A and B are shown apart, each in its own frame.
Chain A
Amino acid sequence: MNALREKARELLATKTVQVVIGYAPGSGGAARALFVREAAQAGELVFDETCLQNLAAYLMKPEVRRLGRAALVARPATLRTILQLAAENQLAESSLLALVPGADGVLSLSTFSAIEAHVAAQDNDLSAAEKSELEKFAAMGLDERREFWQEQFSRCLKCYACRAACPLCYCTRCTVECNQPQWIPVPAHDLGNLEWNVMRAMHLAGRCTNCGDCSRACPVGIPLYLLNQKLCSDVLSSFNQRSGMAARADHSLSTFKPDDPEDFIR
């Protein structure tokens, strides 16, 4: 933690960056995002297991971008997100550096290739628990799955907290906001909620870096991560691709291989 504060202080003092986006203690024992713009404020930074938010979401916010070059305290998913955003032409390499707190100090990654190398060395698979939850789902009957999701989606308020929290939902016009034609019903009724959630999952397929912020953001507790992890795992098993591994990625859903595997097309 001290190393992180020291590094932040140094980066700000030397004007290497104009802001350090990190974590500070928040309400209810949780951590929250902190924007440190003065070296003196760096002492407020913390990093522990409560620091869960994917701060890369702020890189897409105009008010934050305006602050200047940012150093971002990054968890593994944050790094993948940075690469994915870069692959989607949303980030300039010069606009940020990533700070990765570790057991022995803070790693400062200032280029995409450094981030790529770091990410490549991590285990980017779904965890065993995540996999087994998906397997449990796959083992359920069709009706059981339908009932589960119907109940979940019936609670959806369409508050779009999932979208707002998601760093990859940076579109300035979301499909749900397209009304000529009206693709997704705006009302938070059963159909509107189903289509909204299917659409969001599909639009994140091959892009989601599995940070889990959508589920954490959901005020009514819909386990949205399940949808994203399902698609992450399908993309990996079908196309052998993972999102967020490279700043110049092969997008898995807008590329193809002539022998992509399927057994359902007649």
Chain B
Amino acid sequence: MARIGVFICHCGENISATVDVKQVAAAAARIPGVAHSVEYKYMCSDPGQQLVKDAIREKGLTGVVVAACSPRMHEPTFRRACAETGLNPFLCEMANIREHCSWVHEKGDATTEKAIDIVRTLVAKVKKNKALQPIQVPVTKVALVIGGGIAGIQASLDIANAGHRVILVEREPSIGGHMSQLSETFPTLDCSQCILTPRMVEVAQHPNITLYSYAELESLDGFIGNFKARIRRKARSLDETLCTGCGLCTQKCPTRKIPGEFDAGLGLRPAIYVPFPQAVPNKPVIDREHCTYYRTGKCRLCEKICPTQAIRFDQLDEIVEVEVGAVVVATGFDIKHGDFFPEYGYGKYPDVIDGLQFERLASASGPTLGEIRRPSDGKVPETVVFVACAGSRDPAKGIEYCSKICCMYTAKHAMLYRHKVHGGKPYVFYMDIRAGGKMYEEFVRRAMEEDGVQYVRGRISRVFERDGKLVVKGADTLLGARPMEIEADLVVLATAAVAQPGAEELAQKLHVSYDAHRFFSEAHPKLRPVETNTAGIFLAGACQAPKDIPESVAQASGAAAKVAALFSRSELVREPLIAVVDRQPPPVYSSCVGCFLCQSACPYQAIEKEEIRGRDGQLIKTVARVNPGLCQGCGTCVAFCRTKSIDIQGFSHEQVHAEVLALLNRGERDA
């Protein structure tokens, strides 16, 4: 006979303000099989948990229902409390009467009735719960880091320095990411490359790090501790082991007028190229789309001059399979391109550029060697208009959210411009200045007060060309919404920071969720900001939301710490909420008839064929078997099984069936 304890939480007043908790407790007490029913102000507090533990011991409870908040919040808390008394933790269930009841309904009888319904449902479930034993799975102590920007670099180094192997995958020919493109960094104005390149070199030389540059994740299967990743190493057209990075090929390549990605389209590069001089690895790659040989079948100049005969025109993409125990996703962000603000002339006028392009103009390694010269004619601009919030915080035409980094880098840009062009007139059009951060507000003040940047609070309506000038029409909302017209030489748009173009596809490969803007979703916005909802996959940097460098680095170190913690044990304990196939003594053996429809339904290839043989070795029947290491517990197989031979622990046929009946049979509450 079941002896169930029901524990009803007031959650301060979060529940008790709309639900009559006393009535719920009284009703629960009348449910057959309920041996104990109490309510308490904060069930999750220490004294609250003690109530549960004492009752288990004193009343000999065989199951526990905590009617409180979402199981996503405190299920582990109460299961742990149960386990401390020796009650199997899987005999504890949460009845969610807060998120699904008290918070979403008005105070009244109907709300209390519903809370009672929920409690009755979970009591019916817990009566069918079975004691389950956790599953031990081995952990492969190798981390996969996807993305070699500053976040990926930091995470790789931290994990590697903790003594674990790291496989770092970077899509581009070199690691470095957006940070390597930047000129100076706010709020210190130190040179971006000067602080980044030592880290890049450290990655290249670290004995624990295997770097796959110019490579992408093909697929990821498995689960925490036991992932199998397939990595596509795109053909560089080069034998990296032979290449010494001498650069002869890149100097001699006859196809030289290709807009370079690293210079955000402002500079030119050859068809065989290293993205930038400090690239890691410092090995070129042939851009097959532009290379004369691939286009016409003639040339092969690089092959001829290469001193080590490293060029391989017939190289194919290579798929590398690796086993890893954890994944850090650090794929970064992109800026919004295209014509979402056609009235600003971005893409139409060469002198309307984005922030990243300005970084290249201001960078000593950039196409102008650090001199601010406008792209159209190379003239040093006398007036520059910087437009903050070009697309950000604009639900009508752009995106709703704040891109977070633009206020700071726009201030930096204006400052850099003033430092480099002394007589120049910088204007910044802004909505608000968001300079929360150590030394950030001071930095913006400095731009306004010391460097004479003219900040105009207002938006611009359009930019058009007139007599060789860019006419910027806007309004100064602080001075009586006075319309303004500025004749500028260069317009810099701080276009919105958005997710990487392939983010959605990558999320689907990784089985992690993403938000409406395709940024990857953290497991909890406050308490689990570096985890995803998929165990063993962590987030670092701007792939989760726009972030500046210090934040990206901090999150990367956080993710690395999570990985290191995971790798601190050689075995991992998994919840046993997995599918199992019926087994019985002979002569039945199993009710499974071996149709294996479940096998084609399983997303994890967790269903195997098992041959049941008699003592004489004669095959009696072939039935399904679930590999407990691979099964993730989705239960899709369960719904396909006609003989109900597969069941899923924790959401078993008996449990869910009992829930449906109990939920709908209010009449039996008092019975």
Q: By the criterion CB–CB under 8 Å, are A181 and B600 in contact? A: no
Q: Does A155 contact B (CB under 8 A)?
A: no
Q: Does B622 contact A (CB under 8 A)?
A: yes
User: Bound complex: CA of A203 vs CA of B593, how far in Å?
Assistant: 14
Please pick, from A90, A172, A183, A253, the residue contacting B644 in the complex, using a CB distance under 8 A. Answer: A183
Q: By the criterion CB–CB under 8 Å, are A203 and B642 in contact? A: yes
Q: Does A257 contact B (CB under 8 A)?
A: no
Q: Interface residues of A, CB < 8 Å — how many? A: 19
User: Bound complex: CA of A208 vs CA of B471, how far in Å?
Assistant: 72
Q: By the criterion CB–CB under 8 Å, are B598 and A89 in contact? A: no
* Residues of B contacting A170 in the complex (Cβ-Cβ under 8 angstroms): 593
* Residues of A contacting B643 in the complex (Cβ-Cβ under 8 angstroms): 171-175, 178
Q: By the criterion CB–CB under 8 Å, are A251 and B600 in contact? A: yes
Q: Does A27 contact B (CB under 8 A)?
A: no
* Residues of A contacting B594 in the complex (Cβ-Cβ under 8 angstroms): 89-90
Cβ-closest chain A residue relative to B596: A89
Cβ-closest chain A residue relative to B599: A254
Map CB proximity to B onto A168-203 as digits: 1 under 8 Å, 0 otherwise. 001111110010110100000000000000000001
* Residues of A contacting B642 in the complex (Cβ-Cβ under 8 angstroms): 171, 174-175, 203
* Residues of B contacting A172 in the complex (Cβ-Cβ under 8 angstroms): 591, 593, 643
Q: Does A250 contact B (CB under 8 A)?
A: yes
Q: Does B341 contact A (CB under 8 A)?
A: no
* Residues of B contacting A144 in the complex (Cβ-Cβ under 8 angstroms): none
* Residues of A contacting B657 in the complex (Cβ-Cβ under 8 angstroms): 181, 183
Within 8 A of A (CB), among B585-614: 591, 593-598, 600-601
* Residues of B contacting A255 in the complex (Cβ-Cβ under 8 angstroms): 600-601
Q: Does B658 contact A (CB under 8 A)?
A: yes
* Residues of B contacting A180 in the complex (Cβ-Cβ under 8 angstroms): 653-654
What's the least CB distance linking B653 to chain A, in Å?
A: 6
Q: Does A88 contact B (CB under 8 A)?
A: yes
User: Bound complex: CA of A174 vs CA of B643, how far in Å?
Assistant: 5
User: Bound complex: CA of A255 vs CA of B600, how far in Å?
Assistant: 6
Cβ-closest chain B residue relative to A60: B593
Please pick, from A171, A183, A250, A251, the residue contacting B593 in the complex, using a CB distance under 8 A. Answer: A171
User: Bound complex: CA of A122 vs CA of B490, how far in Å?
Assistant: 72
Cβ-closest chain B residue relative to A255: B600
Within 8 A of B (CB), among A109-165: none
User: Bound complex: CA of A254 vs CA of B657, how far in Å?
Assistant: 22
Q: Does B103 contact A (CB under 8 A)?
A: no
Q: By the criterion CB–CB under 8 Å, are B622 and A89 in contact? A: yes
What's the least CB distance linking B640 to chain A, in Å?
A: 5
Map CB proximity to B onto A219-261 as digits: 1 under 8 Å, 0 otherwise. 0000000000000000000000000000000110111000000
* Residues of A contacting B598 in the complex (Cβ-Cβ under 8 angstroms): 254
Contacts A251-B600, A254-B600; is A89 near B595 (CB within 8 Å)? yes
Q: By the criterion CB–CB under 8 Å, are B597 and A181 in contact? A: no
Q: By the criterion CB–CB under 8 Å, are B658 and A181 in contact? A: yes
Within 8 A of A (CB), among B634-671: 640, 642-645, 653-654, 657-658
What's the least CB distance linking B621 to chain A, in Å?
A: 9
User: Bound complex: CA of A171 vs CA of B645, how far in Å?
Assistant: 11
User: Bound complex: CA of A247 vs CA of B644, how far in Å?
Assistant: 24
* Residues of A contacting B640 in the complex (Cβ-Cβ under 8 angstroms): 253-254
What's the least CB distance linking B618 to chain A, in Å?
A: 13
User: Bound complex: CA of A173 vs CA of B598, how far in Å?
Assistant: 16
What's the least CB distance linking B596 to chain A, in Å?
A: 5
* Residues of B contacting A203 in the complex (Cβ-Cβ under 8 angstroms): 642
What's the least CB distance linking A95 to chain B, in Å?
A: 13
* Residues of A contacting B593 in the complex (Cβ-Cβ under 8 angstroms): 90, 170-173
* Residues of B contacting A183 in the complex (Cβ-Cβ under 8 angstroms): 644, 653, 657
Q: By the criterion CB–CB under 8 Å, are B591 and A181 in contact? A: no
Please pick, from B597, B644, B654, the residue contacting A175 in the complex, using a CB distance under 8 A. Answer: B644
What's the least CB distance linking A202 to chain B, in Å?
A: 9
Q: By the criterion CB–CB under 8 Å, are B654 and A254 in contact? A: no
* Residues of A contacting B644 in the complex (Cβ-Cβ under 8 angstroms): 173, 175, 178, 183
Cβ-closest chain B residue relative to A206: B597
User: Bound complex: CA of A175 vs CA of B622, how far in Å?
Assistant: 20
Within 8 A of B (CB), among A43-92: 88-90
Q: By the criterion CB–CB under 8 Å, are B597 and A251 in contact? A: yes
What's the least CB distance linking B651 to chain A, in Å?
A: 13
* Residues of A contacting B653 in the complex (Cβ-Cβ under 8 angstroms): 178, 180-181, 183
User: Bound complex: CA of A20 vs CA of B365, how far in Å?
Assistant: 85
Contacts A89-B622, A254-B640; is A173 near B591 (CB within 8 Å)? yes
What's the least CB distance linking B33 to chain A, in Å?
A: 16
User: Bound complex: CA of A93 vs CA of B601, how far in Å?
Assistant: 24
User: Bound complex: CA of A250 vs CA of B658, how far in Å?
Assistant: 34
Within 8 A of B (CB), among A20-42: none
What's the least CB distance linking B129 to chain A, in Å?
A: 14
Chain B CB within 10 Å, residue with most, of A178, A180, A183, A254? A254
* Residues of B contacting A174 in the complex (Cβ-Cβ under 8 angstroms): 642-643
User: Bound complex: CA of A68 vs CA of B431, how far in Å?
Assistant: 85
User: Bound complex: CA of A17 vs CA of B653, how far in Å?
Assistant: 44
* Residues of A contacting B645 in the complex (Cβ-Cβ under 8 angstroms): 173
Cβ-closest chain B residue relative to A181: B657
* Residues of A contacting B654 in the complex (Cβ-Cβ under 8 angstroms): 180-181
User: Bound complex: CA of A255 vs CA of B640, how far in Å?
Assistant: 11
Map CB proximity to A onto B488-500 as digits: 1 under 8 Å, 0 otherwise. 0000000000000
Q: By the criterion CB–CB under 8 Å, are B596 and A250 in contact? A: no
Q: By the criterion CB–CB under 8 Å, are A253 and B658 in contact? A: no
Within 8 A of A (CB), among B246-276: none
Cβ-closest chain A residue relative to B636: A254
Cβ-closest chain A residue relative to B654: A181
* Residues of A contacting B600 in the complex (Cβ-Cβ under 8 angstroms): 250-251, 254-255
Contacts A89-B622, A171-B642, A183-B644; is A253 near B597 (CB within 8 Å)? yes
Map CB proximity to A onto B17-39 as digits: 1 under 8 Å, 0 otherwise. 00000000000000000000000
What's the least CB distance linking B21 to chain A, in Å?
A: 31
Within 8 A of A (CB), among B547-596: 591, 593-596
What's the least CB distance linking A80 to chain B, in Å?
A: 16
Chain A CB within 10 Å, residue with most, of B597, B640, B645, B658? B597
What's the least CB distance linking A238 to chain B, in Å?
A: 17
Q: By the criterion CB–CB under 8 Å, are B595 and A88 in contact? A: yes
Cβ-closest chain A residue relative to B656: A181
Q: By the criterion CB–CB under 8 Å, are A254 and B597 in contact? A: yes
Cβ-closest chain A residue relative to B508: A258
Q: By the criterion CB–CB under 8 Å, are B591 and A88 in contact? A: no
What's the least CB distance linking A5 to chain B, in Å?
A: 35
Chain B CB within 10 Å, residue with most, of A88, A170, A171? A171
What's the least CB distance linking B74 to chain A, in Å?
A: 29
User: Bound complex: CA of A253 vs CA of B640, how far in Å?
Assistant: 8
User: Bound complex: CA of A181 vs CA of B658, how far in Å?
Assistant: 8
User: Bound complex: CA of A89 vs CA of B591, how far in Å?
Assistant: 15
What's the least CB distance linking A255 to chain B, in Å?
A: 5
Q: By the criterion CB–CB under 8 Å, are B658 and A88 in contact? A: no
Q: By the criterion CB–CB under 8 Å, are A254 and B601 in contact? A: yes
* Residues of B contacting A254 in the complex (Cβ-Cβ under 8 angstroms): 597-598, 600-601, 640
User: Bound complex: CA of A253 vs CA of B598, how far in Å?
Assistant: 10
Cβ-closest chain B residue relative to A249: B600
Cβ-closest chain A residue relative to B600: A254
User: Bound complex: CA of A183 vs CA of B653, how far in Å?
Assistant: 9
What's the least CB distance linking B642 to chain A, in Å?
A: 5
What's the least CB distance linking B531 to chain A, in Å?
A: 27
A-B contact sample (6 more), CB < 8 A, given A90-B593, A173-B644, A178-B653: A90-B595, A173-B591, A174-B642, A175-B643, A250-B600, A255-B600
Can you list 17 A-B contacts with CB-CB less than 8 angstroms, sorted by A residue number?
A89-B595, A90-B593, A90-B594, A171-B643, A172-B593, A173-B591, A173-B593, A173-B643, A175-B642, A180-B653, A181-B653, A181-B658, A183-B657, A203-B642, A250-B600, A251-B597, A255-B600
Question: Which of A's residues lie within 8 Å of B, judged by CB?
Answer: 88-90, 170-175, 178, 180-181, 183, 203, 250-251, 253-255
- The 9 nearest A-B residue pairs measured at CB: A181-B657, A254-B601, A88-B595, A173-B591, A254-B597, A178-B644, A173-B643, A254-B600, A203-B642
